[in-house]
Protein backbone atom coordinates (compact mmCIF):
# COMPACT_ATOMS: atom_id res chain seq x y z
CA UNK A 1 0.00 0.00 0.00
CA UNK A 2 1.46 3.35 -1.02
CA UNK A 3 1.80 6.28 1.33
CA UNK A 4 -0.86 8.16 -0.62
CA UNK A 5 -3.25 5.20 -0.28
CA UNK A 6 -2.72 5.13 3.45
CA UNK A 7 -3.91 8.70 3.70
CA UNK A 8 -6.95 7.89 1.55
CA UNK A 9 -7.64 5.12 4.05
CA UNK A 10 -7.35 7.55 6.97
CA UNK A 11 -9.82 9.81 5.16
CA UNK A 12 -12.30 6.96 4.92
CA UNK A 13 -12.32 6.65 8.69
CA UNK A 14 -12.46 10.40 9.23
CA UNK A 15 -15.44 10.54 6.87
CA UNK A 16 -17.10 7.52 8.47
CA UNK A 17 -17.37 9.15 11.88
CA UNK A 18 -17.80 12.68 10.56
CA UNK A 19 -20.75 11.83 8.34
CA UNK A 20 -22.66 9.97 11.07
CA UNK A 21 -22.10 12.89 13.45
CA UNK A 22 -23.26 15.34 10.75
CA UNK A 23 -26.38 13.19 10.19
CA UNK A 24 -25.47 12.87 6.49
CA UNK A 25 -26.89 9.43 5.69
CA UNK A 26 -26.53 9.52 1.90
CA UNK A 27 -22.87 10.48 2.30
CA UNK A 28 -22.36 7.78 4.91
CA UNK A 29 -24.03 5.04 2.83
CA UNK A 30 -21.78 6.01 -0.06
CA UNK A 31 -18.77 4.83 1.97
CA UNK A 32 -19.97 1.25 1.55
CA UNK A 33 -19.41 -0.94 -1.50
CA UNK A 34 -22.52 -1.85 -3.50
CA UNK A 35 -22.15 -5.39 -2.16
CA UNK A 36 -21.43 -5.08 1.53
CA UNK A 37 -22.06 -6.35 5.01
CA UNK A 38 -22.49 -4.31 8.19
CA UNK A 39 -22.86 -5.91 11.58
CA UNK A 40 -22.62 -5.00 15.24
CA UNK A 41 -21.45 -7.86 17.45
CA UNK A 42 -20.95 -7.80 21.23
CA UNK A 43 -17.34 -8.53 22.12
CA UNK A 44 -18.20 -11.66 24.05
CA UNK A 45 -20.05 -13.20 21.09
CA UNK A 46 -17.25 -12.19 18.77
CA UNK A 47 -14.59 -13.84 20.95
CA UNK A 48 -16.62 -17.07 21.17
CA UNK A 49 -17.41 -17.12 17.47
CA UNK A 50 -21.15 -16.87 18.15
CA UNK A 51 -23.07 -15.60 15.15
CA UNK A 52 -25.63 -13.48 17.02
CA UNK A 53 -25.31 -9.83 15.95
CA UNK A 54 -27.17 -6.87 17.43
CA UNK A 55 -27.52 -5.48 13.92
CA UNK A 56 -26.94 -7.42 10.74
CA UNK A 57 -27.25 -6.02 7.23
CA UNK A 58 -25.91 -7.95 4.28
CA UNK A 59 -26.58 -5.43 1.53
CA UNK A 60 -26.46 -1.68 1.11
CA UNK A 61 -30.22 -1.65 0.50
CA UNK A 62 -30.79 -3.34 3.87
CA UNK A 63 -28.41 -0.89 5.50
CA UNK A 64 -30.33 1.98 3.97
CA UNK A 65 -33.64 0.61 5.27
CA UNK A 66 -32.15 0.32 8.70
CA UNK A 67 -30.95 3.90 8.66
CA UNK A 68 -34.40 5.16 7.69
CA UNK A 69 -35.92 3.26 10.62
CA UNK A 70 -33.35 4.72 13.00
CA UNK A 71 -34.16 8.22 11.81
CA UNK A 72 -37.78 7.65 12.79
CA UNK A 73 -36.79 6.35 16.23
CA UNK A 74 -34.55 9.35 16.79
CA UNK A 75 -37.47 11.75 16.72
CA UNK A 76 -38.28 10.55 20.23
CA UNK A 77 -34.72 10.51 21.55
CA UNK A 78 -33.03 13.59 20.24
CA UNK A 79 -29.30 13.57 20.73
CA UNK A 80 -26.06 14.17 18.90
CA UNK A 81 -23.30 11.68 18.32
CA UNK A 82 -19.59 12.33 18.32
CA UNK A 83 -17.15 9.68 17.11
CA UNK A 84 -13.51 9.79 18.10
CA UNK A 85 -11.66 7.12 16.14
CA UNK A 86 -8.08 6.02 16.77
CA UNK A 87 -5.45 5.48 14.10
CA UNK A 88 -6.55 2.79 11.62
CA UNK A 89 -4.22 -0.20 11.64
CA UNK A 90 -3.69 -2.23 8.49
CA UNK A 91 -3.76 -5.92 9.47
CA UNK A 92 -3.73 -7.49 6.01
CA UNK A 93 -3.65 -6.50 2.35
CA UNK A 94 -4.21 -9.23 -0.20
CA UNK A 95 -6.44 -10.33 -3.05
CA UNK A 96 -7.73 -6.79 -3.46
CA UNK A 97 -9.01 -6.58 0.11
CA UNK A 98 -7.47 -4.60 2.94
CA UNK A 99 -8.12 -5.67 6.53
CA UNK A 100 -8.16 -2.74 8.92
CA UNK A 101 -8.83 -2.31 12.64
CA UNK A 102 -9.54 0.93 14.47
CA UNK A 103 -10.62 1.62 18.04
CA UNK A 104 -13.50 4.02 18.56
CA UNK A 105 -15.36 5.88 21.29
CA UNK A 106 -18.81 7.34 20.65
CA UNK A 107 -20.22 10.10 22.85
CA UNK A 108 -23.78 11.37 22.95
CA UNK A 109 -24.98 14.82 23.89
CA UNK A 110 -28.57 15.65 24.71
CA UNK A 111 -30.59 18.79 24.24
CA UNK A 112 -29.63 20.04 27.70
CA UNK A 113 -26.01 20.11 26.60
CA UNK A 114 -24.77 17.22 28.71
CA UNK A 115 -22.38 14.72 27.12
CA UNK A 116 -21.60 11.17 28.10
CA UNK A 117 -19.72 8.17 26.84
CA UNK A 118 -22.11 6.05 24.82
CA UNK A 119 -20.03 3.12 23.58
CA UNK A 120 -16.53 1.92 22.84
CA UNK A 121 -15.35 -0.84 20.56
CA UNK A 122 -13.27 -1.91 17.61
CA UNK A 123 -13.95 -1.64 13.89
CA UNK A 124 -12.80 -4.81 12.12
CA UNK A 125 -13.19 -4.01 8.45
CA UNK A 126 -12.48 -5.36 5.02
CA UNK A 127 -12.05 -2.61 2.47
CA UNK A 128 -11.99 -2.65 -1.32
CA UNK A 129 -11.01 -0.16 -3.96
CA UNK A 130 -13.87 1.07 -6.12
CA UNK A 131 -14.38 4.05 -8.37
CA UNK A 132 -14.22 7.02 -6.02
CA UNK A 133 -11.75 5.48 -3.60
CA UNK A 134 -11.85 2.91 -0.82
CA UNK A 135 -15.18 1.49 0.30
CA UNK A 136 -16.25 -0.77 3.14
CA UNK A 137 -16.99 -4.29 1.93
CA UNK A 138 -17.47 -5.72 5.40
CA UNK A 139 -17.74 -3.61 8.52
CA UNK A 140 -17.87 -5.62 11.72
CA UNK A 141 -18.26 -3.49 14.82
CA UNK A 142 -17.06 -5.36 17.86
CA UNK A 143 -18.89 -3.59 20.66
CA UNK A 144 -17.46 -3.41 24.19
CA UNK A 145 -20.60 -1.69 25.49
CA UNK A 146 -23.91 -3.45 25.06
CA UNK A 147 -25.80 -2.49 28.22
CA UNK A 148 -26.95 1.01 27.27
CA UNK A 149 -30.54 2.24 27.51
CA UNK A 150 -30.89 3.87 24.10
CA UNK A 151 -28.73 1.44 22.21
CA UNK A 152 -28.20 1.83 18.52
CA UNK A 153 -30.50 4.76 17.86
CA UNK A 154 -27.85 5.69 15.27
CA UNK A 155 -25.28 3.49 13.59
CA UNK A 156 -21.98 3.03 15.34
CA UNK B 1 -2.40 18.67 -1.15
CA UNK B 2 0.75 16.57 -1.13
CA UNK B 3 1.26 13.61 1.16
CA UNK B 4 3.93 15.54 3.05
CA UNK B 5 1.54 18.48 3.54
CA UNK B 6 -1.09 16.15 4.94
CA UNK B 7 1.31 15.05 7.65
CA UNK B 8 2.16 18.67 8.44
CA UNK B 9 -1.57 19.21 8.83
CA UNK B 10 -1.82 16.24 11.19
CA UNK B 11 1.03 17.75 13.20
CA UNK B 12 -0.90 21.00 13.52
CA UNK B 13 -3.73 19.14 15.25
CA UNK B 14 -1.38 17.09 17.40
CA UNK B 15 0.32 20.31 18.49
CA UNK B 16 -3.00 22.11 19.04
CA UNK B 17 -4.18 19.65 21.68
CA UNK B 18 -0.72 18.89 23.03
CA UNK B 19 0.19 22.52 23.71
CA UNK B 20 -3.08 23.27 25.54
CA UNK B 21 -2.59 20.18 27.68
CA UNK B 22 1.02 21.18 28.37
CA UNK B 23 -0.17 24.68 29.37
CA UNK B 24 2.16 26.19 26.75
CA UNK B 25 0.21 29.30 25.76
CA UNK B 26 2.90 31.04 23.69
CA UNK B 27 3.37 27.86 21.67
CA UNK B 28 -0.38 27.46 21.29
CA UNK B 29 -0.96 31.08 20.17
CA UNK B 30 1.76 30.61 17.58
CA UNK B 31 -0.44 28.05 15.80
CA UNK B 32 -2.77 30.87 14.78
CA UNK B 33 -2.25 33.21 11.84
CA UNK B 34 -1.54 36.87 12.70
CA UNK B 35 -5.03 37.67 11.40
CA UNK B 36 -7.35 35.06 12.82
CA UNK B 37 -10.67 34.27 14.38
CA UNK B 38 -11.41 31.84 17.22
CA UNK B 39 -14.91 31.09 18.36
CA UNK B 40 -16.78 28.51 20.41
CA UNK B 41 -20.37 27.96 19.26
CA UNK B 42 -22.93 25.56 20.77
CA UNK B 43 -24.02 22.99 18.23
CA UNK B 44 -27.64 24.10 18.30
CA UNK B 45 -26.74 27.70 17.46
CA UNK B 46 -24.37 26.53 14.76
CA UNK B 47 -27.03 24.40 13.09
CA UNK B 48 -29.54 27.26 13.15
CA UNK B 49 -27.05 29.82 11.89
CA UNK B 50 -27.37 31.87 15.09
CA UNK B 51 -24.39 34.14 15.62
CA UNK B 52 -24.15 33.83 19.44
CA UNK B 53 -20.79 32.38 20.41
CA UNK B 54 -19.67 31.37 23.91
CA UNK B 55 -16.26 32.80 23.12
CA UNK B 56 -15.45 35.07 20.22
CA UNK B 57 -12.02 36.45 19.41
CA UNK B 58 -11.37 38.07 16.06
CA UNK B 59 -7.65 38.73 16.41
CA UNK B 60 -4.65 37.00 17.91
CA UNK B 61 -4.24 39.87 20.37
CA UNK B 62 -7.80 39.31 21.63
CA UNK B 63 -7.13 35.59 21.86
CA UNK B 64 -4.00 36.28 23.88
CA UNK B 65 -5.95 38.54 26.27
CA UNK B 66 -8.52 35.83 26.73
CA UNK B 67 -5.87 33.24 27.53
CA UNK B 68 -4.34 35.48 30.18
CA UNK B 69 -7.77 35.91 31.81
CA UNK B 70 -8.30 32.15 31.79
CA UNK B 71 -4.96 31.59 33.48
CA UNK B 72 -6.10 33.82 36.31
CA UNK B 73 -9.41 31.94 36.66
CA UNK B 74 -7.59 28.61 36.73
CA UNK B 75 -5.84 29.48 39.98
CA UNK B 76 -9.14 28.76 41.70
CA UNK B 77 -10.06 25.66 39.75
CA UNK B 78 -6.91 23.65 39.33
CA UNK B 79 -7.23 20.85 36.83
CA UNK B 80 -5.48 19.32 33.85
CA UNK B 81 -6.87 18.99 30.37
CA UNK B 82 -6.35 16.15 27.95
CA UNK B 83 -7.39 16.45 24.32
CA UNK B 84 -7.95 13.37 22.20
CA UNK B 85 -8.50 14.50 18.61
CA UNK B 86 -9.70 12.27 15.78
CA UNK B 87 -8.21 12.16 12.29
CA UNK B 88 -8.46 15.59 10.62
CA UNK B 89 -10.60 15.47 7.50
CA UNK B 90 -9.89 17.82 4.60
CA UNK B 91 -13.23 19.17 3.38
CA UNK B 92 -11.97 21.78 0.92
CA UNK B 93 -8.73 23.18 -0.45
CA UNK B 94 -8.95 26.28 -2.58
CA UNK B 95 -7.79 29.88 -2.88
CA UNK B 96 -4.98 29.23 -0.45
CA UNK B 97 -7.30 28.08 2.34
CA UNK B 98 -7.81 24.53 3.53
CA UNK B 99 -11.07 23.61 5.26
CA UNK B 100 -10.62 20.88 7.84
CA UNK B 101 -12.86 19.15 10.35
CA UNK B 102 -11.80 17.03 13.30
CA UNK B 103 -13.80 15.51 16.16
CA UNK B 104 -12.46 16.01 19.66
CA UNK B 105 -13.01 14.90 23.24
CA UNK B 106 -11.56 16.86 26.15
CA UNK B 107 -11.08 15.27 29.56
CA UNK B 108 -10.28 17.01 32.82
CA UNK B 109 -8.45 15.60 35.81
CA UNK B 110 -8.46 17.20 39.23
CA UNK B 111 -5.87 17.25 41.98
CA UNK B 112 -7.36 14.13 43.56
CA UNK B 113 -6.50 12.22 40.39
CA UNK B 114 -10.04 11.69 39.15
CA UNK B 115 -10.72 12.15 35.42
CA UNK B 116 -13.97 12.87 33.64
CA UNK B 117 -15.26 13.76 30.22
CA UNK B 118 -15.41 17.53 29.96
CA UNK B 119 -16.64 18.22 26.46
CA UNK B 120 -16.96 16.84 22.95
CA UNK B 121 -17.38 18.62 19.66
CA UNK B 122 -16.06 19.32 16.20
CA UNK B 123 -13.31 21.64 15.01
CA UNK B 124 -14.36 23.36 11.79
CA UNK B 125 -11.26 25.20 10.68
CA UNK B 126 -9.86 27.22 7.84
CA UNK B 127 -6.10 26.91 7.60
CA UNK B 128 -3.50 28.92 5.68
CA UNK B 129 0.11 28.40 4.85
CA UNK B 130 2.48 30.88 6.48
CA UNK B 131 6.18 30.93 7.18
CA UNK B 132 6.68 28.10 9.63
CA UNK B 133 3.93 25.89 8.27
CA UNK B 134 0.17 25.76 8.48
CA UNK B 135 -1.67 28.16 10.78
CA UNK B 136 -5.28 28.50 11.87
CA UNK B 137 -6.99 31.41 10.14
CA UNK B 138 -10.43 30.61 11.50
CA UNK B 139 -11.07 28.07 14.23
CA UNK B 140 -14.74 27.46 14.91
CA UNK B 141 -15.35 25.01 17.73
CA UNK B 142 -18.79 23.49 17.44
CA UNK B 143 -19.48 22.35 20.98
CA UNK B 144 -21.77 19.40 21.76
CA UNK B 145 -21.45 19.98 25.50
CA UNK B 146 -22.46 23.33 26.88
CA UNK B 147 -23.96 22.46 30.28
CA UNK B 148 -20.77 22.00 32.30
CA UNK B 149 -20.08 23.66 35.64
CA UNK B 150 -16.58 24.98 35.01
CA UNK B 151 -17.01 25.69 31.34
CA UNK B 152 -14.18 27.15 29.37
CA UNK B 153 -11.63 27.63 32.09
CA UNK B 154 -9.15 26.73 29.34
CA UNK B 155 -9.53 26.95 25.59
CA UNK B 156 -11.03 23.99 23.82
CA UNK C 1 11.92 11.62 8.91
CA UNK C 2 10.40 10.51 5.62
CA UNK C 3 6.69 10.42 4.97
CA UNK C 4 6.80 6.62 4.85
CA UNK C 5 8.55 6.53 8.23
CA UNK C 6 5.88 8.74 9.75
CA UNK C 7 3.24 6.21 8.78
CA UNK C 8 5.32 3.39 10.27
CA UNK C 9 5.40 5.47 13.45
CA UNK C 10 1.61 5.86 13.36
CA UNK C 11 1.35 2.09 12.98
CA UNK C 12 3.46 1.60 16.10
CA UNK C 13 0.89 3.54 18.12
CA UNK C 14 -2.04 1.82 16.47
CA UNK C 15 -0.46 -1.53 17.31
CA UNK C 16 0.42 -0.47 20.86
CA UNK C 17 -3.19 0.17 21.83
CA UNK C 18 -4.63 -2.53 19.61
CA UNK C 19 -2.47 -5.32 21.01
CA UNK C 20 -3.23 -4.45 24.65
CA UNK C 21 -6.95 -4.37 23.86
CA UNK C 22 -6.65 -7.71 22.04
CA UNK C 23 -4.81 -9.17 25.07
CA UNK C 24 -1.89 -10.13 22.80
CA UNK C 25 1.01 -9.82 25.24
CA UNK C 26 3.74 -11.42 23.10
CA UNK C 27 2.83 -9.07 20.25
CA UNK C 28 2.77 -6.11 22.60
CA UNK C 29 6.13 -6.93 24.21
CA UNK C 30 7.63 -7.18 20.73
CA UNK C 31 6.97 -3.44 20.25
CA UNK C 32 9.71 -2.72 22.80
CA UNK C 33 13.45 -2.68 22.10
CA UNK C 34 15.48 -5.43 23.76
CA UNK C 35 16.93 -2.76 26.05
CA UNK C 36 14.03 -0.63 27.18
CA UNK C 37 12.35 1.21 29.99
CA UNK C 38 8.61 1.40 30.76
CA UNK C 39 7.23 3.57 33.51
CA UNK C 40 3.94 5.03 34.65
CA UNK C 41 4.30 8.36 36.45
CA UNK C 42 1.49 10.49 37.90
CA UNK C 43 1.38 13.89 36.24
CA UNK C 44 2.10 15.76 39.44
CA UNK C 45 5.29 13.79 40.10
CA UNK C 46 6.32 14.20 36.48
CA UNK C 47 5.91 17.97 36.62
CA UNK C 48 7.93 18.22 39.83
CA UNK C 49 10.68 15.90 38.61
CA UNK C 50 9.95 13.40 41.39
CA UNK C 51 11.26 9.94 40.59
CA UNK C 52 8.39 7.93 42.12
CA UNK C 53 6.70 5.83 39.44
CA UNK C 54 3.57 3.70 39.85
CA UNK C 55 5.19 1.08 37.64
CA UNK C 56 8.84 0.95 36.72
CA UNK C 57 10.44 -1.65 34.47
CA UNK C 58 13.92 -1.11 33.13
CA UNK C 59 14.20 -4.17 30.91
CA UNK C 60 11.94 -6.15 28.63
CA UNK C 61 12.33 -9.18 30.90
CA UNK C 62 11.02 -7.14 33.85
CA UNK C 63 8.16 -5.86 31.71
CA UNK C 64 7.31 -9.42 30.74
CA UNK C 65 7.26 -10.49 34.41
CA UNK C 66 4.98 -7.62 35.21
CA UNK C 67 2.56 -8.57 32.43
CA UNK C 68 2.39 -12.16 33.68
CA UNK C 69 1.52 -10.89 37.18
CA UNK C 70 -1.18 -8.65 35.77
CA UNK C 71 -2.71 -11.54 33.88
CA UNK C 72 -3.07 -13.40 37.16
CA UNK C 73 -4.72 -10.39 38.86
CA UNK C 74 -7.13 -10.01 35.96
CA UNK C 75 -8.74 -13.37 36.66
CA UNK C 76 -10.49 -11.70 39.57
CA UNK C 77 -11.40 -8.46 37.81
CA UNK C 78 -12.51 -9.39 34.35
CA UNK C 79 -12.81 -6.44 32.02
CA UNK C 80 -11.85 -5.27 28.55
CA UNK C 81 -9.70 -2.30 27.71
CA UNK C 82 -10.09 0.05 24.81
CA UNK C 83 -7.36 2.55 23.94
CA UNK C 84 -8.13 5.61 21.85
CA UNK C 85 -4.85 7.33 21.04
CA UNK C 86 -4.51 10.78 19.48
CA UNK C 87 -2.17 11.68 16.63
CA UNK C 88 1.46 11.02 17.62
CA UNK C 89 3.51 14.20 17.62
CA UNK C 90 7.22 14.08 16.80
CA UNK C 91 9.01 16.34 19.28
CA UNK C 92 12.61 15.50 18.41
CA UNK C 93 14.60 13.31 16.04
CA UNK C 94 18.33 13.05 16.65
CA UNK C 95 21.13 10.62 17.36
CA UNK C 96 19.01 7.74 16.19
CA UNK C 97 16.23 8.42 18.69
CA UNK C 98 12.84 9.90 17.96
CA UNK C 99 10.94 11.66 20.74
CA UNK C 100 7.19 11.33 20.37
CA UNK C 101 4.19 12.40 22.42
CA UNK C 102 0.62 11.16 22.07
CA UNK C 103 -2.47 11.75 24.20
CA UNK C 104 -4.52 8.71 25.17
CA UNK C 105 -7.80 7.75 26.78
CA UNK C 106 -8.39 4.22 28.07
CA UNK C 107 -11.90 2.86 28.62
CA UNK C 108 -12.87 -0.29 30.46
CA UNK C 109 -15.93 -2.43 29.91
CA UNK C 110 -17.13 -5.04 32.34
CA UNK C 111 -18.96 -8.31 31.83
CA UNK C 112 -22.33 -6.59 32.18
CA UNK C 113 -21.52 -4.54 29.10
CA UNK C 114 -21.08 -1.18 30.83
CA UNK C 115 -18.20 1.03 29.74
CA UNK C 116 -16.48 3.84 31.59
CA UNK C 117 -13.50 6.11 31.28
CA UNK C 118 -10.59 4.47 33.06
CA UNK C 119 -7.66 6.85 32.59
CA UNK C 120 -6.25 9.63 30.45
CA UNK C 121 -2.69 10.77 30.00
CA UNK C 122 0.22 11.37 27.69
CA UNK C 123 2.76 8.96 26.21
CA UNK C 124 6.21 10.54 26.23
CA UNK C 125 8.33 8.10 24.31
CA UNK C 126 11.78 7.65 22.85
CA UNK C 127 11.76 5.36 19.84
CA UNK C 128 14.56 3.61 17.97
CA UNK C 129 14.80 1.82 14.67
CA UNK C 130 15.52 -1.89 14.94
CA UNK C 131 15.11 -4.81 12.59
CA UNK C 132 11.37 -5.06 12.07
CA UNK C 133 10.68 -1.35 12.36
CA UNK C 134 10.40 1.19 15.14
CA UNK C 135 10.52 0.03 18.75
CA UNK C 136 9.97 1.74 22.09
CA UNK C 137 13.25 2.38 23.88
CA UNK C 138 11.68 4.40 26.68
CA UNK C 139 7.96 4.64 27.26
CA UNK C 140 7.00 7.09 29.98
CA UNK C 141 3.28 7.22 30.63
CA UNK C 142 2.34 10.49 32.27
CA UNK C 143 -0.93 9.63 33.96
CA UNK C 144 -3.63 12.26 34.60
CA UNK C 145 -5.79 9.76 36.47
CA UNK C 146 -4.32 8.04 39.50
CA UNK C 147 -7.32 7.68 41.83
CA UNK C 148 -8.99 4.65 40.28
CA UNK C 149 -10.09 1.58 42.22
CA UNK C 150 -8.71 -1.15 39.95
CA UNK C 151 -5.63 0.72 38.86
CA UNK C 152 -3.22 -0.85 36.48
CA UNK C 153 -4.73 -4.29 36.15
CA UNK C 154 -3.45 -4.06 32.58
CA UNK C 155 -0.67 -1.90 31.16
CA UNK C 156 -1.61 1.55 29.97
Distance from CA of B123 to the nearest CA of A (A): 11
Task: Write the burial class of residue C101 (CB in 10 Å: 0-12 exposed, 13-18 middle, 19+ buried).
Answer: buried
- Phi, psi (5° rounding) for residue C28? -70, -45
Contact residues, chain C, for A151 at CB < 8 Å: none
The pLDDT assigned to C155 comes to 84
Neighbours of chain C (3+ CB pairs under 8 A): A, B
- CA of B152 vs chain A CAs: smallest distance (Å): 14
* C 62-101 → B contacts, CB under 8 A: 84-90, 101
In angstroms, the separation between the Cα of residue B150 and the nearest Cα of chain C is: 18
User: Closest chain A residue to C87 measured between Cα atoms?
Assistant: A87
Among A57-71, A125-139, B15-29, B68-82, the range scoring the smallest mean pLDDT is B68-82
Q: Is B98 helix (H, G, I), strand (E, B) or coil?
A: strand
DSSP conformation letters of A38-102: EEEEEHHHHHHT----SEEE-SHHHHHHHHHHHHHHHTTS-EEEEEEE---EEEEEETTEEEEEE
The confidence score (pLDDT) of residue A25 equals 93
Q: Is the pLDDT of residue B71 over 90?
A: no
Q: Average pLDDT for residues A35-43, to the nearest whole number?
A: 93
- At C15-48, the pLDDT tens digits run 999 999 999 999 999 999 999 999 999 888 877 8
**A145 touching C (Cβ < 8 Å):** yes
Predicted pLDDT of residue A151: 55
Backbone angles phi, psi at A76, to 5 degrees: -105, 5
Decide which of C42 and A99 is more confident.
Answer: A99
pLDDT of C152 strictly over 80: no
Neighbours of chain A (3+ CB pairs under 8 A): B, C
Range among A38-42, A43-47, C45-49, C151-155 rated most confident: A38-42
Q: How far is A127 from chain B (nearest CA, A)?
A: 18
Nearest CA to B156 out of B99, B75, B98, B85 is that of: B85
* Residue A89 near residue C83, CB atoms below 8 Å: no
**Cβ burial, residue C114 (10 Å; 0-12/13-18/19+):** middle
Instruction: Indicate if the pLDDT at residue C151 is higher than 60.
Output: no
pLDDT (0 to 100) of residue B129: 92
Measured CA distances, B136 to B47, B58, B106, C129 (Å): 22, 12, 19, 34
**Contact flag A21-B86 (C-beta cutoff 8 Å):** no
Whether residue C121 has pLDDT greater than 90: yes
A116 contact residues in B (CB cutoff 8 A): 117
Name the residue among A15, A84, A109 with its Cβ closest to that of B89. Answer: A15
**Is C89 in contact with B3 (Cβ distance < 8 A)?**
no
Q: Is the dihedral of CA A9, A14, A16, A19 positive or negative?
A: negative
C16 or C71, higher pLDDT: C16
Share of chain B above pLDDT 70, in %: 94
Question: pLDDT at position C68, please?
Answer: 84
Interface contact C17-A42, CB threshold 8 A:
no
Chain A closest CA to B5's CA: distance in Å? 11
- Output DSSP code: residue B77: S
Q: Is C105 on the interface with A (CB under 8 A)?
A: yes
Instruction: Kindly state the average pLDDT of the residues B100-127.
Output: 95
Amino acid sequence: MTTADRLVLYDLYGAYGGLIDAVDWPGWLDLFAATCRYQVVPRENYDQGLPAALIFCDSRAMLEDRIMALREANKYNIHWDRHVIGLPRVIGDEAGEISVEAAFAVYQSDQEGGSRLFATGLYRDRIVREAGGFKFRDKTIMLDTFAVPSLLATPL
